[in-house]
Amino acid sequence: MSEWRQTTLDQLVKLQRGHDLPTSRRMPGSVPVMGAAGRSGTHDTAIVKAPGVVLGRAGASMGKATYCNVDFWPLNTALYVTDFQGNDPRFAYYLLDQIDFSGYNSGAAQPMLNRNYITQIKISLPEPTEQRAIAATLGALDDKIAVNERISTTYEQLLILQVERMGLETEPDPENSVPVTDLVHFNPKVAKPSPEAIYVDMAALSTNRAAINTWTRREPKGGTRFENSDTLLARITPCLENGKTGYVDFMKKGEVGVGSTEFIVMRSTQGVPPEFSYFLARNRRFREHAIRNMVGSSGRQRVAAADLANFQVIRPDEKLLTEFGKMASNFFAHIRSLARESRTLARLRDTLLPQLMSGKLRVRDAEKIVEDAL
């Protein structure tokens, strides 16, 4: 640690509050909109050059750090780095991610991080060359995880095209329509879970991906029950509008999981590929139907399973449905493999991170560990 100097956070980065950008003002584009929890949609205009780091300012994600390697728009729910002061941007991200900001909450109704209150947090800072070496070592793991995610995303996009070939985006005529319940069961009956059941919360569902990468185990005291090959669809605002959906494929055969009471479980009927329910849940026309049928007070609106079941689709062509099933089975098998690898790499990164950031583990030793893992 002799080459590490003791200093304060204001010597690492300068932070500024993000900028308001309501959904109604966002224009079609590919620029990431970065909020407290990370990416929160897209826009056509960037106001911060990459590489950048945002730090959750408000809400449950207060203090969460996110690295962005493309130009972006930071929301006012986050702080963003305006000056890295000669420090490596990715190293700064990893260091910020290690700081426990919970003791700096200045909010009342909800958690709030004031940038003026955190400038004097004590940190240990190595020279820039050491920073770059640490960032490269940890970054190799994150980069491989990102590659796995891009491959999985490509698989899903290809399968979406296959679903569109079956006409699900088209409003059906009475002559060629069938009730969606011919293809999917909503909230099917499930056996009682074990005393220490897998539990999935709302935060575990992605807004644009099938994989569910985080879960816990706990005593089941209620909630939505599900099995492997089920789809979990968020039914409450704003999670439904944001697209929170997941496909269950990580449990043992016969195992029963439990999730949030705000999930609706969708399961393909017999003879229909199990992955079909997931892509129906991602279907634009189906989601618009779900959103139109939400009821309740402002901010707590929900859609009921019975209203989801009241939906008509074009009867899928048997040949196309079979082709989709074969492709989906192969693609999702590879996606599961990639997800397992990514979870292993993430655990390794999380193990190495505090040791490298404290100087307890030398970069050359960590490099060997990472090389063996990759």
Q: pLDDT value at position 248?
A: 97
Same structural domain, 290 and 222: yes
Residues 216 and 309 in one domain: yes
Distance CA 342, CA 175 (A): 46
Lowest-confidence segment of 252-256, 296-300, 344-348 by average pLDDT: 296-300
Domain final position from 316, 340, 357: 316
Burial classification of residue 306, based on how many CB atoms lie within 10 Å of its CB (0-12 exposed, 13-18 middle, 19 or more buried):
exposed
Segment 172-193 mean pLDDT: 94
**pLDDT tens digits, one per residue of 210-228:** 999 899 999 998 899 999 9
- Is a pLDDT exceeding 60 seen at residue 2? no
- Note whether 11 and 114 are same-domain residues: yes
- Residue 1, pLDDT above cutoff 80: no
d(CA 369, CA 141): 11
Co-location of 146 and 278 in the same domain? no
State the pLDDT at residue 107: 78
Residues 352 and 270 in one domain: no
Shared-domain flag, residues 273 and 196: yes
- Do residue 249 and residue 239 come from a single domain? yes
How large is the average pLDDT for residues 36-44?
90
Which single residue is written with the structure tokens 């082709």? Answer: 323
Residue range 203-212, pLDDT digits in tens: 899 988 999 9
**CATH number for position 139:** 1.10.287
In CATH, what number is assigned to the domain containing residue 87?
A: 3.90.220.20
When the pLDDT of each residue in the chain is averaged and rounded to a whole number, the result is 93
Show the tokens assigned to 156: 């899903």
Q: Is the pLDDT of residue 173 over 80?
A: yes
pLDDT for residue 134 is more than 60: yes
Same domain, 24 and 151: no
Tens of pLDDT, residue by residue over 97-121, are 999 998 998 877 788 999 999 999 9
> What is the count of structural domains for the chain?
3
Domain that holds residue 230: 167-316
- What are the pLDDT digits (tens) for 227-236? 999 999 999 9
Query: If pLDDT is split at 50, 70 and 90, which confidence band does 3 have?
Result: confident
Last residue of a domain, one of 316, 334, 353: 316
Q: Are residues 115 and 159 in the same domain?
A: no
- Average pLDDT (336-351) is 94
- Does residue 89 sit in the same domain as residue 219? no
The pLDDT value given to residue 228:
97
Co-location of 304 and 360 in the same domain: no
Residue 73 · residue 21 · CB < 8 Å? yes
- Angstrom CA distances, 69 to 30, 54, 57, 115, 253, stand at 13, 11, 20, 23, 40
Q: Which of 316, 336, 362 lies at the terminal end of a domain, its last residue? A: 316
Same domain, 189 and 310: yes
